Amino acid sequence: MVDYSASFAAALLDVATEENCENTIYDQLQQLANIWEENSDLQKMMKHPELKKQVKLELIHSVFQKKLHPVLLRFLEVCIAHDQAGNISQIVSVYE
């Protein structure tokens, strides 16, 4: 799997800037990265190539829908659609 962390981080920053929510997204990204790092099962699920994208989307929505800014939630959906959800930690590092 190719790592597109830099491209995804740049795209997220562009959207966050347009929506004037860069700081909120940055703070929530850091929290999200901590959750990812602390939960190896979540990491494995997001990286697992045989787990259907719909299952990953449902998991993300059930856990984060009421906790994340809509821009960040939509970004996670895009990451899942493009098999990049396993790279959240790298995306956060680039976003910083």
Domains in the chain: boundaries: 5-95
DSSP state of 39: -
Q: How big is the CA angle at 93 (ends 72 and 15), to the nearest 5 degrees?
A: 35
Is 3.40.640.10 the CATH number for 5-95? Answer: no
Q: In this model, does residue 88 exceed pLDDT 90?
A: no
Q: What is the pLDDT of residues 34-64, one digit of tens each?
A: 888 898 888 888 888 899 999 999 999 999 9
Mean pLDDT to the nearest integer, 72-92: 91
Q: Tell me the pTM.
A: 0.88
- Residue in the block written with tokens 């990265």: 33
Q: Return the closest-CA partner of residue 85 out of 69, 26, 61.
A: 61
Q: In this model, does residue 2 exceed pLDDT 70?
A: no
